[in-house]
Structure 1
Amino acid sequence: MGCRISRSLLDAIRQESAIVAPEEACGLLFGTTAQIDGWTPARNVAEQPERRFEIDPATLFAALRAERTGGAALIGYWHSHPSGDPTPSRTDGAMAQPDGKLWLILGSEFRLWQAGKAGLHGRFEEVPIEID
């Protein structure tokens, strides 16, 4: 089963990634595992933001609080790889929880992954993505 995303949403995330480069940009994804219909940027609070990402906890906690009170469902995360490779790194694998969340990674192209207990780095399975 795949997941859909609108071209305008994907373009907006790409724009945000370009603004932040050469650091890794990051943020949150909202919708369902079948349809990404929202996103938000987050500050990258990693000690070496040019090599890894860490989503600002304040942004994450605000999204989780909003979800609990009827807001948009947090379905995953997005981040950029300024190196151009949209494949999860070993660091991504070590950071990811096996919680089924989606990971959209942007490089010279983009790919969508789902965090679980198997796959690349013992954590990621690729998810087909369709652009509306």
Structure 2
Amino acid sequence: MSQRFYKTILIEVKKELPNEGCGLISGSGNVCKTIWPTRNSEPTPYSFAIDPDEQDQVLEHMVLKRETFMGIYHSHPYGIPVPSRDDVAYAHHPELYYFIAAVGGGKEELRCYKIRNGKVKHIDILIE
């Protein structure tokens, strides 16, 4: 992903503080190209939910853009960018990348993971 893309995710989730921010990511191959901010339909500092209707609309826009649904991002306000128990429990799409941003504390950081059958694997983000 580009440096701009990385920073844009951090900007988007900071807009939702003190609650978790969230959205979807599309692209092609392993290159993230488009950020799709979504509304946290259950806003709290400890969880997020994306409305299924809004998600379906975003997925339709991805198809029109000829991009593939690659991942989901959300923030951990005032926490660290590692999957929580809930993040692991609700990760039902092993093909997707799960991005978690830490934004409310001193250090801002975005990390990426693959989650399959309760197993979490850290994925390095290549910044171009």
TM-score, with structure 1 as normaliser: 0.83
Aligned residues: 123
1:7 matched residue in structure 2: 3
Write the distance in 1 (CA, Å) between the matches of 2:2 and 2:94.
Answer: 24
Corresponding position: 1:43 with 2:48: no
Q: Which runs of 4+ in 1 moved over 6 A?
A: none
Q: What amino acid is the match of 2:98?
A: W
Contact 2:36 2:58 (C-alpha < 8 Å) held by counterparts = no
Deviations 1:82-105 (A, max 9, x none): 023000000101111143200110
Deviations 1:27-83 (A, max 9, x none): 00101452111111000012x522101112222101333445563211110000002
Write the distance in 2 (CA, Å) between the matches of 1:11 and 1:115.
Answer: 23
Q: Which of 119, 122, 126 is the equivalent residue of 1:126?
A: 122
1:114 matched residue in structure 2: 114
Q: What amino acid is the match of 1:19?
A: K
SS of the equivalent of 1:20 reads coil
| Aligned residues with identical type, % of pairs | 29
SS of the equivalent of 2:33 reads strand
Contact 2:28 2:67 (C-alpha < 8 Å) held by counterparts = no
In structure 2, stretches of 5+ residues that fail to align are 103-107
Contact 2:2 2:127 (C-alpha < 8 Å) held by counterparts = yes
1:85 matched residue in structure 2: 80
1:27 matched residue in structure 2: 23
TM-score, with structure 2 as normaliser: 0.86
Change (3 A) 1:33 1:125: farther
Contact 1:113 1:127 (C-alpha < 8 Å) held by counterparts = yes
Deviates more, 1:51-60 or 1:78-87: 51-60
